[in-house]
Amino acid sequence: SQTIHQWPATLVQPVGSPLSLECTVEGTSNPNLYWYRQAAGRGLQLLFYSVGIGQISSEVPQNLSASRPQDRQFILSSKKLLLSDSGFYLCAWSPRSGLNEQFFGPGTRLTVL
């Protein structure tokens, strides 16, 4: 069966510090991968998605970037965090083909102080 991991689970970082959040998927190949941010426990905002290694699409302009160095690894980064980057970050995957749902990881709670 497939599983999706995210780490760290929680993170407290000062303003201006760098960020690296990691997401890995097991038990599948060639997945689509997604990064979302959820602010104030409500709506989800799609930040990035990837359909293959090195292929990243950005949905909104922001202080963040994403990379996919391996088929089942998706990384969310920032060079300098802002207060507004605080939130709950969710990674998700879906099979490449077909009309499939997305499967979500456990999330990372980021607090920027």
Asked whether 46 and 91 are in contact (CB, 8 A), the reply is no
Supply 93's token pair: 């995957």
- x/- track of binding to other proteins for residues 1-40 (CB under 8 A): -------------------------------x-x------
- x/- track of binding to other proteins for residues 39-78 (CB under 8 A): --xxxx-x--x-x-----x---------------------
Supply 58's token pair: 């950005």
Among candidate residues 110, 49, 43, the one with its CA nearest the CA of residue 83: 110
For residues 13 and 44, which CB has a smaller minimum distance to other proteins in the complex?
44
Contact segment (CB under 8 A) with other proteins among 12-20, 62-70, 73-81, 85-93 equals 85-93
For residues 42 and 69, which CB has a smaller minimum distance to other proteins in the complex?
42
For residues 107 and 72, give the distance between their C-alpha atoms in angstroms, rounded to a whole number. 17
For residues 47 and 44, give the distance between their C-alpha atoms in angstroms, rounded to a whole number. 9
- x/- track of binding to other proteins for residues 87-106 (CB under 8 A): -x-x-x-xxx--xxxxxxxx
Asked whether 68 and 54 are in contact (CB, 8 A), the reply is yes
Give the Å distances, CA to CA, from 80 to 43, 61, 98.
Answer: 24, 15, 38
The residues that touch other proteins, with contacts defined as CB under 8 A, are 32, 34, 41-44, 46, 49, 51, 57, 88, 90, 92, 94-96, 99-107, 109
